[in-house]
Amino acid sequence: MDNKTNLLHPRAEQHSKFWQNAHAYFDTVYTTANLDPIWRPYLASPKRVLAVSCPIKMDDGRIQVFTGYRAQHNNARGPFKGGIRYDVSVDRDEVMALAMLQTWKNALVDLPFGGAKGGIVCDPKKLSMGEKERLTRRFTSEIMPIIGPNQDIPAPDAGTDGQIMAWILDTYSMMVGYQALGVVTGKPVSVGGSVGREEATGRGVMNILRKFLATQNKQIEGTRVAIQGFGNVGSHTARLLAGRGAIIVAITERSSGIFDESGIDIEAATKYYRENGTLADFPGADAITNEELLTCDCDVLIPAAMENTIDAAIAPHIQAHVVVEAANGPTTPEADAILREEGITVLPDILANAGGVTVSYFEWVQGLDNYFWDLKQVQDELQKVMEKAFDAVNAKADEADCDYRTAAYMIAISRVTEACKIKGLFP
């Protein structure tokens, strides 16, 4: 097998669409920014991709083998950092693409981290708590050689939460013989997590949207918002925006959604979703599909679910004036070009949803110091980081006369390239 078709570097057409999209953005910006071509192949490749088998005993006595991955893209700026997701869609290409996006995101908000991502191919809703715990602990033991407080620090992502991070913390700590608070972030506060971490991505989305609207002499109050995805990110985004006077006209989760042009009661919808596991039949609102939400009449559209949800077929029908990418990679390059032609502003994922990893950084620092911050300090520091990043992207967009995504990538890739050049290659 030649180098062009090995596991890390197969031909482009052999990769998934999502991997190709992540590289399309990278390739376009690398060329546009006239960066040093010598470092391009290095930055385009993951440093390491680990695939592991995770056999566990199921509740009925069967042994089932799950596949897990951990991709580490680049650590020129610091330890690897990125989430772990439990989903049936998880595969090698997905974690490699997400790890690359994480590298740019961490660099854009100027955190001392490189990018990583991992996951297990499973449907977490079909696993009991016991099965999920055994799977998490087995996966942790399998990726143990490449994670650690100064190596690679996982965090929650789609399908995972604070409980899973607590199991990773405990498993790792038992194996090294001491309490290693810095090995994961997104932990419950009772075991070394940070206050404000759960809502951090949504709060960051709110901070970025507020800053952008201010450049247009607008404000959040009275803005009509549609949010696709009602998990951790979507629900907190909805709550925080509604609390500042936004009119949330539509929300959806995987299989159901609701629309109310006069505004949805987010507190009631959240309670209903927690009790029923669905938004279907929520009283006083009309049913809406995920596709209908993307094209509904609103001022701001926030995709907060999975990648590739806004494609070339959907993009021409979007009515929003602003798209805020709370999910990772929700817009394909083809759709991005259409939105740009239509005059729709896109606030890109590596900027808009960086609040989560920012507070993860705060949590990591607190864990290493064994000194913990109060909620106001977390929220104030998060706002500073997000607003500083927005100001940098806004200034770069003006200077280079380009869209926000291109500006964000220019800043992020330039920072990583500079770190690579200064450090050089070993050996």
Chain segment 140-191, per-residue pLDDT in tens: 999 999 999 999 999 999 899 999 999 999 999 999 999 999 999 999 999 9
In this model, does residue 251 exceed pLDDT 70? Answer: yes
CATH architecture label of 3-179: 3-Layer(aba) Sandwich (3.40)
Give the Cα separation of 275 and 425 in Å (integer).
54
Residue 1 has pLDDT above 50, yes or no: no
Rounded Cα distance, 57 and 64, in Å = 6
Task: Assess whether pLDDT exceeds 50 at residue 393.
Answer: yes
Region of 269 on the Ramachandran plot (φ > 0 left; ψ -120 to 50 alpha; else beta): alpha
Residue 157, amino acid? D
Please, what is the average pLDDT of the chain? 93
Buried b (16+ CB within 10 A) or exposed e, 356-391: bbbbbbbbbebbeeeebbeeeebbebbbebbeebbe
What is the helix (H) or strand (E) element at residue 152, kind and residue range? strand 152-156
In DSSP terms, 302 is beta-bridged to: 227
> pTM for the full model?
0.91
Alpha-carbon distance values, 259 to 4, 270, 305, 320, 333 (Å): 49, 14, 17, 15, 28
Catalytic residues: 117
The pLDDT value recorded for residue 254 is 83
Arithmetic mean of pLDDT, 61-83: 97
- pLDDT band for position 355 (50/70/90)? very high
Asked if domains 3-179 and 200-347 share a fold, the reply is yes
Please give the residue that has the higher pLDDT: either 158 or 73. Answer: 73
Q: Are 355 and 204 spatial neighbours (Cβ–Cβ below 8 Å)?
A: yes
- Classify domain 200-347 at the CATH superfamily level: NAD(P)-binding Rossmann-like Domain (3.40.50.720)
Higher pLDDT, 8 or 189: 189
Report CA torsion sign: 98, 100, 101, 106: positive
**Domain range annotation of the chain:** 3-179, 200-347
Answer whether residue 6 shows pLDDT above 60.
Answer: no
Angstrom distance (rounded) from CA 221 to CA 188: 32
Query: Would you state the pLDDT for residue 8?
Result: 52
More confident residue, 83 or 306: 83
Looking at residue 413, its pLDDT comes to: 96
**What's the pLDDT at 163?**
97
Q: Mean pLDDT across the stretch 376-398?
A: 97
pLDDT digits (tens, 9 = 90+) for 13-47: 567 888 888 888 899 888 888 888 899 999 999 99
Residue 76 · residue 114 · CB < 8 Å: yes
DSSP states along 8-72: SS--GGGS-HHHHHHHHHHHHHHHHTT--GGGHHHHTS-SEEEEEEEEEE-TTS-EEEEEEEEEE
Q: What pLDDT shows up at residue 2?
A: 42
Give the pair of three-digit tokens for residue 6. 């090995």
If pLDDT is split at 50, 70 and 90, which confidence band does 423 have? very high
Give the residue among 324, 343, 409 at the shortest CA–CA distance from 21. 409
For position 21, what pLDDT does the model report?
84
Within 10 A of 126 (CB to CB), how many other CB atoms are there? 9
Beta pairing partners, 322: 300, 345
pLDDT of residue 4: 40
Identify the pLDDT of residue 285: 87
Where does the pLDDT of residue 11 fall: very low under 50, low under 70, confident under 90, or very high at 90 and above?
low
Q: Tell me the pLDDT band of 427, cut-offs 50, 70 and 90.
A: confident
